[in-house]
């Protein structure tokens, strides 16, 4: 597993397909702050709650200079269903080969119901306008995370 990112690290570059199959790159957001959040699977209760929380707060975050990108191992077709079903406005990208998840240390061993499993580690990385990591949060909770993030960022 990759070392967890720390403040000051250069955020790993990526280009992944969005829900429409169009490429989305971290470089597309150069000059803006980006909240990159990693979640296990579209159309599951916790991930739906988190994506809806980001969507509900998207205008507030955008006004504070933040773009939001959600990354999961899902294929674009499933992301499109997720977006339509939940009326999501947040940009969702798929990483089926998990290379970006691994580069951000958001894939590896984790505890699930007391057992050690390998999977997506729910994480959020704040990338500054200069492409450097400002904050990296690992093992975050789906519920209440966005509110805590807004508070922590002083938005």
Residues with a catalytic annotation lie at 47
Distance CA 60, CA 27 (A): 22
Q: Which residue reads 């490429």 in tokens?
A: 23
Q: Is 11 exposed, middle or buried (0-12, 13-18, 19+ CB in 10 A)?
A: buried
Q: How many CB atoms lie within 10 A of CB 97?
A: 10
């Amino acid at each position: 597993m990759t070392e967890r990112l720390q403040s000051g690290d250069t955020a790993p570059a990526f280009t992944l397909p969005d829900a429409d199959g169009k490429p989305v790159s971290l470089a597309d957001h150069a000059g803006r702050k980006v909240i990159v959040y990693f979640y296990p699977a579209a159309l599951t209760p916790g991930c739906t709650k988190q994506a809806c929380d980001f969507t509900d707060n998207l205008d507030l975050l955008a006004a504070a200079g933040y773009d939001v990108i959600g990354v999961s191992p899902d294929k674009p077709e499933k992301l499109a269903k997720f977006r339509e079903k939940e009326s999501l406005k947040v940009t969702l990208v798929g990483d089926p080969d998990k290379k970006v998840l691994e580069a951000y240390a958001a894939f590896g061993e984790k505890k699930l119901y007391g057992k050690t499993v390998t999977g997506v580690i729910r994480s959020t990385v704040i990338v500054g306008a200069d492409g450097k990591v400002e904050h990296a949060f690992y093992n975050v909770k789906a519920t209440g995370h966005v509110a805590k993030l807004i508070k922590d960022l002083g938005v």
